[in-house]
Amino acid sequence: MPHPARTAIVTGASRGIGAAIARRLAADGFQIVVNYAARPEAAEQVVRSIIQAGGRAYAILADVSDPAAVAVLFDQTELEYGGVDVLVNNAGIIQPGLVDLADTSEALYDRIFAVNTRGTFNTMKLAAQRLRDGGRIINFSTSVVGLALPGYAAYAGSKAAVEAMGRVFAKELRGRGITVNCVAPGPTATELFLDGKDAETVARLANLAPLQRLGQPEDIAGVVAFLASEEGGWINGQTLRVNGGIV
């Protein structure tokens, strides 16, 4: 009998790195759920681009910080495709510029942790019950955790928690054949990253890496695709800092 097609949920996939991941996994043969919390037109454009390239994709609205919305995300994915094999926790937010810990408001702290940390917790919790055996969970952190840059305390803290939860979760899924890993990009040329930065700042950040350029969304998507593949099956409980050698 033919092997059933594999299905991947990519959260925050309407633009930037998430959109690149969705397109790459679709090219690798996955059926894709393009999750989004805003910008439905952008999400539908990603879906159209995948379908036009010969793949299968479906857009689902869900705020990952809301457990009920995450349950609907899994429900709709199973109705559309029959199950879930790969979960890519790409959805996240960054700080609006540099904000020292002493100046971080409770509202900003709560918002960052709600999406970056609680959102990943919510999806992993459901994945423990509903991901098919042999699946893959790929979380997202940031190389800021390794760099410990001043002005990013709340953001780095939210992602450090994701790294720690993933390492523990990988051990808790013993016996299922499911891997849990984390990808931690450095500066990457996306709309979200470039917004509000002048040319001098962008050039300085690009020069941090020995390779002397910004990452591209496709650089990150390639690493995610490897972790989602059979060839990536022996990597488990790890954080891969995909940043051109910054840290």
Residue type, 67: P
Q: Provide, rounded to the nearest whole percent, the portion of the chain with pLDDT above 70.
A: 98
Query: Does the pLDDT at position 4 exceed 90?
Result: no
Query: How many Å apart are CA 105 and CA 212, to the nearest integer?
Result: 35
- Chain position carrying tokens 């593949």: 229
Asked if residue 1 has pLDDT above 70, the reply is no
Please state, in angstroms and rounded to a whole number, the distance separating the CA atoms of residues 116 and 111.
9
Give the CA angle between residues 61, 86, 129 to the nearest 5°.
Answer: 85
Taking only the tens place, the pLDDT of each residue in 99-141 is 999 999 999 999 999 999 999 999 999 999 999 999 999 999 9
Q: Is the pLDDT of residue 203 over 60?
A: yes
User: Is residue 1 a part of any domain in this protein?
Assistant: no
Which of helix, strand or coil describes residue 139?
strand
153: closest CA among 181, 113, 183? Answer: 113
Whether the CB-CB separation of 77 and 60 falls below 8 Å is answered with yes
Q: Is there a contact between 154 and 193 (Cβ–Cβ < 8 Å)?
A: no
The DSSP call for residue 34 is E
Average pLDDT over residues 30-48: 97
Catalytic residue IDs = 155
CATH of residue 88's domain is 3.40.50.720
User: How does residue 95 score in pLDDT terms, banded at 50, 70 and 90?
Assistant: confident
Q: How far apart are CA 182 and CA 42, in angstroms?
A: 26
**pLDDT, tens only, 10-29:** 999 999 999 999 999 999 99
Structure letter (DSSP) for residue 193: H
| pLDDT band for position 213 (cuts 50, 70, 90) | very high
**What burial class does residue 138 get, using C-beta atoms within 10 Å of its C-beta: 0-12 exposed, 13-18 middle, 19+ buried?**
buried
- The total number of structural domains that make up the chain: 1
- Condensed to tens digits (0 to 9), the pLDDT of residues 41-58 reads 999 999 999 999 999 999
Q: Is residue 88 part of a domain?
A: yes
- 53 within a domain of the structure (yes/no): yes
Buried/exposed code over 38-51 (b: 16+ C-beta within 10 A; e: otherwise)? eeeebbebbbebbe
Confidence of residue 5 (pLDDT cuts 50, 70, 90): confident
d(CA 146, CA 174): 28
Q: CA–CA distance from 65 to each of 10, 17, 232 (Å)?
A: 15, 19, 28
- pLDDT digits 0-9 by tens, 72-82: 999 999 999 99
What average pLDDT does range 29-36 have in this prediction?
98
225 within a domain of the structure (yes/no): yes
Dihedral sign (CA 185, 191, 192, 195): positive
Does 107 reside within a domain? Answer: yes
Expressed as residue numbers, the domain containing 66 is 7-242
Residue 2 lies in a domain: no
Residue 2 has pLDDT above 90, yes or no: no
Q: Rounded to the nearest 5°, which phi and psi values hold at 178?
A: -100, 130
Q: What is the mean pLDDT of residues 185-190?
A: 94
Confidence of residue 197 (pLDDT cuts 50, 70, 90): confident
Residue 247 lies in a domain: no
Instruction: Collect contacts of 15-18 with beta carbons under 8 A, ≥24 apart.
Output: 15/39, 15/42, 15/46, 15/190, 15/191, 15/192, 16/188, 16/190, 16/191, 16/192, 16/193, 16/217, 17/90, 17/185, 17/188, 17/190, 17/217, 17/220, 17/221, 18/88, 18/90, 18/91
Note the pLDDT of residue 3.
53
Residue 153: pLDDT band by 50, 70, 90 thresholds?
very high
Question: Does 39 map to a domain?
Answer: yes
Q: Give me the pLDDT at residue 35, please.
A: 98
**Neighbouring C-beta atoms of residue 64, cutoff 10 Å:** 25
